[in-house]
Structure 1
């Protein structure tokens, strides 16, 4: 159930990434399509979470805790990097679009750092992709294509999170029913 809760959190953040960052220069039809797709993706993971919660039986004995000391240290570092980095970018007078690239970068690195803590290397894959999308956005922010940073670092990162959480969630649900 802890894994499904982690997937739920990832899906919600993925949907938020898409909803907030789907904007101009994309046309209105594309923006609305992406937002609806994000909501449907998050809703599918929510449904899988509820299906898992209904079927899961409490197990005897200790279970591994996802929210260990290592997790808390990584999340604390993530918060410092997110908010501190955004302040630094503002002090450097970087375009506002740079913030979403920084967020994608830090969230990606956070997944990579969590992989050894959780002993689950599958989360490193979206971590690497988000990190690369963040770097791409940081590079784009220094060019005339700065308006595309929210799409590259925000929408695409959100879609990676949604696709990954839906796929892993489906795999978990299918394995339980098999």
Structure 2
């Protein structure tokens, strides 16, 4: 309750009597865990919603499948007016989710540089965020070609195969032998 007199005169201790400075704004932003003008924003934490993805989920930007929306709705994990965008991890891939003009959930597959390496078996990173398996009748093909984003990440992390020296990598929890082929392409064979 404001102890101000009835004629709306404010006391000197009233919150509206204080003039906000840039220093106040920066401190408030820091407390609220927002990026102030003098700080840099940390990447938003991704919520793993792989459980909600359909069995034959195909990676890429798209309208979220109805079954996925239903599962996310029941867990309170859909974007809404209070939180218009959310960051999801779906089977190792990072997505930004938001509502389109028709109130449908649109999944935007984040670019390769925004993807993060997952933890694989025995300390080998899982590069699945940089690769979408080609499938036939729901089963991954035994041999596939690495995407340019995957080859860039393999080079960056020191797992790029060389001539006559293949490497073993993880892709979405599955082991693959990566071999450098003619023309600089990388052939992936399930182990």
TM range (shorter): under 0.3
Q: Comparing both chains, which one has the higher relative contact order based on Cα–Cα distances under 8 Å and sequence gaps of 6 or more? A: 1
Give the TM-score taking structure 1 as reference length.
0.21
The structure that has the greater radius of gyration is: 2
Q: Which has the higher strand share?
A: 2
